[in-house]
Amino acid sequence: MKRTIRVGVVGLGKIAHIAELPALSEIPEAKIVAAYSRTEESLKRAAAKYEIGSLCSSFEEFLGIDMDCAFVLTPKTDHRDYVVSLLRKGLDVFCEKPLALTLRDSKEMVDAARAAGRILMAGFNRRYAPVYAKVKETYASGTPDVVIAEKSRNGSEYRATLENAIHMVDLMRWYCGEAVEVQARSKYSDPEKEDLATAQIKFDRGGVGILVACRTAGQWTERLEAYGGGISAIVDAPDSVSIVDRESEVRTSMTPRALGWARVEDKMGFTQEVRHFIDCVESRASPLTSGEDAYKTHLLMHEILSKAGLPGLDEGGSR
């Protein structure tokens, strides 16, 4: 019988209710012993739906609760202070992406985890999504020659490319290795709320990645294509992946899973990443999306943003 993992949650906004809280509620050995939010309404909303031990209105009160690990689900501007404090307290920490708005803060988080001997895991949930995991499995013995990754939607936001396209950059690293050359372009009237960013990336294993992140699209689109070794892998996220070779095409749809009730949190990998984190807390294994590996994605993201003429991760921006 597995031991009970005592979990704390910092931040109870949209992502907590879409992903982490539902996933944690389905893990028998995970017990939410504390939750902290700056707003009483958020605490009440979470408590009405999930079993939570202590509702904390201050972070100091939260730190006083005995727990094994914590999820930091606050806005990206606040990650560093919470994560470092929790690691220094001796807790394993899951942090939503991006780790922080600067490389300095991200590195401090990684260093704090190493110094404390604790786990730091980044919320790059796409690696755990079945459609993207299938592409990794397909190219397990090699590397695609080219990966074309698109993540577009209507309406920009603060540091839009960093907020969303970082998922696709992380996937390209996972498939292709480390970047050795980057070219990038962008379009904006406000560099902190860009309309478009594109990049072409050469990787050390010989592959090339092409990134498209547009915020003036007609609707949400997430798509990835990988070609090489006589194989094409085409993902229409989060619902389907097609693997094509010279003789056949096999298309896998996520819809029939769970008897047709496949949930968004399962298809997008949120459920799997939370399960993975809890397993790592128990086994002491290093996560697939460890803080150290995630930092490499942030380094590449910084180079893309800088080459595109956007604020990089050596700049904190105006917030």
Compute the average pLDDT of residues 54-79: 97
For the chain, count helices (H), then strands (E): 12, 14
| Confidence band, pLDDT 50/70/90 cuts, at residue 319 | very low
| Confidence band, pLDDT 50/70/90 cuts, at residue 258 | low
The pLDDT value given to residue 283: 97
pLDDT digits (tens, 9 = 90+) for 3-18: 999 999 999 999 999 9
pLDDT at 256 over 80: no
Report the chain's mean pLDDT, rounded to a whole number: 95
pLDDT digits (tens, 9 = 90+) for 196-251: 999 999 999 999 999 999 999 999 999 999 999 999 999 999 999 999 999 999 99
Taking a C-beta distance cutoff of 8 angstroms, is the pair 5, 280 a contact?
A: no
For the chain, domains (ranges, CATH) are 5-124+274-290 (3.40.50.720), 126-260+296-307 (3.30.360.10)
pLDDT digits (tens, 9 = 90+) for 279-298: 999 999 999 999 999 999 99
| Confidence band, pLDDT 50/70/90 cuts, at residue 262 | confident
Compute the average pLDDT of residues 169-175: 98
Give me the percent of the chain exceeding a pLDDT of 70.
96
Taking a C-beta distance cutoff of 8 angstroms, is the pair 39, 64 a contact?
A: no
The pLDDT value given to residue 317: 43
Burial class (CB in 10 A: 0-12, 13-18, 19+), 26: exposed
- CA pair distance 110, 282, nearest whole angstrom: 20
Compute the average pLDDT of residues 154-159: 94
* Structure letter (DSSP) for residue 184: E
- CA pair distance 274, 20, nearest whole angstrom: 7
Compute the average pLDDT of residues 46-73: 97
